[in-house]
Structure 1
Amino acid sequence: MLLRTFVIALCILGAAVFASAQNTASLTADEKPTYDETLAKRLGGNDNGMKNYVLVILKTGPKDASIKGTVRDEIFKGHMANISRLGDEGKLALAGPFGDNDRTYRGLYIFNVSTVAEALKLAETDPAIKAGIFIIEATPWFGSAALMGVGETHKRIMKTKP
């Protein structure tokens, strides 16, 4: 099950990398990006621009159906605030919900940490996980250090601020 989750997440991220590569394929030599050592170091990339993360899948938890109304609203307000806090601290590279699916998958976190234990400790600060709305699965993942730039880019393209 975790392997299938990993493959799905890898396919999603692979598609994004492929799309990015397609955008640079038609550039001339003068327009193609050049190695930026300062940026690579800031993002934590190795010589290949990669780094360690931990991929966390949020799944429907045992108390999801029983928590309703204003209690649920407050929990999700805290859930979103926690995501923002972790992103601002540089601990969360990427987060977002899944669409409807038959696997009880609700969302994805990619934590900027190198161990599952660190990721679980961070995930447990999420009010929705604490409340049992979500349960989680975690696995180490090795991906592009460029993910560490997603948060800043997102802030620049988000017209409506929460």
Structure 2
Amino acid sequence: MKKPLLVFVFLIMSAIGFSQETEVKYDEALAKSLHADEYGMKKYVFCLLKSGSNTTASKEESKKLFEGHMENIGKLAKEGKLAIAGPFMKNDRNYRGIYIFNVETIEEAKALVATDPAIKANLLEAELTPWYCTAALQEIPEMHEKIAKTKM
């Protein structure tokens, strides 16, 4: 009788142990520095980059404009205005890439989009949408620096 009782107690204790929530390690200073709300989230603006209406640019002109596009991405990232940027792989939707702007309003994002030479020249077109995501997203560029062996 003792053995089944011990097994039963062991099973109950194991179940209680597994059902306990893990301790949340909330970092108030980090949350404040990232402007996180109570859920650890914040507002951003998502930008979908599509092929633009300019189909007559020469190869040389396009190359120069896309070099400026890449320089602008680096500048915005260093300023903390751009959390994420990246191209899409070849697709049949004319989707070229995304930006996730670290700003709260479409108006702020429009001003940033206006600094992109490829968008100004209509090689790319920007579609902007408010977005709500983890405030930790802002930490990605710094983390990326630590894992990129070759810089773009």
Q: Which TM-score tier does this pair reach, normalised by the shorter chain?
A: 0.7 to 0.9
Task: Give 1:147's match in structure 2, choosing from 137, 140, 150.
Answer: 137
The Cα of 1:88 is off from its aligned counterpart by 0.6
Deviation at 1:33, TM superposition (A): 6.5
**TM-aligned CA deviation for residue 97 of structure 1:** 0.7
CA deviations over 1:8-31 (Å, ceiling 9, x no partner): xxxxxxxxxxxxxxxxxxxxx5xx
Q: 1:35 Cα shift?
A: 1.2
Tell me the TM-score normalized by structure 1: 0.77
Structure 2 length-normalised TM: 0.81
Q: Secondary structure at the match of 1:77?
A: helix
2:104 corresponds to which of 104, 114, 123: 114
- 1:44 matched to 2:35? The reply is yes
> What code does the residue aligned with 2:35 have?
G
The answer on 1:123 being equivalent to 2:101 is no
Moved more, 86-95 or 67-76: 67-76
Q: How many residues align?
A: 132
CA 1:138–1:68 in structure 2 vs 1: closer, same or farther (change >3 Å)? same
CA–CA distance in structure 2, aligned partners of residues 71 and 156 of structure 1: 33
Alignment partner, residue 58 of structure 1: 49
Matched residue SS, 1:100: coil
Distance 2:57 2:35 in 1: 40
- Tell me the amino acid that sits aligned with residue 29 of structure 2: T
Q: Which amino acid aligns with 1:34?
A: K
Give the distance between the partners of 1:100 and 1:148, measured in 2 at CA: 27
Please name the residue that 1:24 is paired with.
none
Output the CA distance in 1 between the equivalents of 2:101 and 2:70.
15
Deviations 1:81-103 (A, max 9, x none): 10011011011111101112222
- Is there any run of 5+ residues in structure 1 with no aligned partner, and where? 1-28
The one of 57, 61, 64 equivalent to 1:71 is 61
1-structure distance, mates of 2:58, 2:134:
38
**RMSD between superposed Cα atoms in Å:** 1.6
The answer to whether 1:132 aligns with 2:107 is: no
Question: Could you tell me how far 1:47 is from its partner in structure 2?
Answer: 1.3
Q: Letter of the aligned partner of 2:33 in structure 1?
A: R
Q: Which amino acid aligns with 1:139?
A: T
Q: Who wins on radius of gyration, i.e. which is larger?
A: 2
- CA displacement, residues 19-58 of structure 1 (integer Å, 9 cap, x when unaligned): xxxxxxxxxx5xx771111111122211111000011101
What amino acid sits opposite 2:96 in the alignment? R
SS of 2:56's equivalent in the other structure is: coil
Q: Provide the residue aligned with 1:91 in structure 2.
A: 81
Counterpart-to-counterpart distance in 1, 2:58 and 2:143? 34
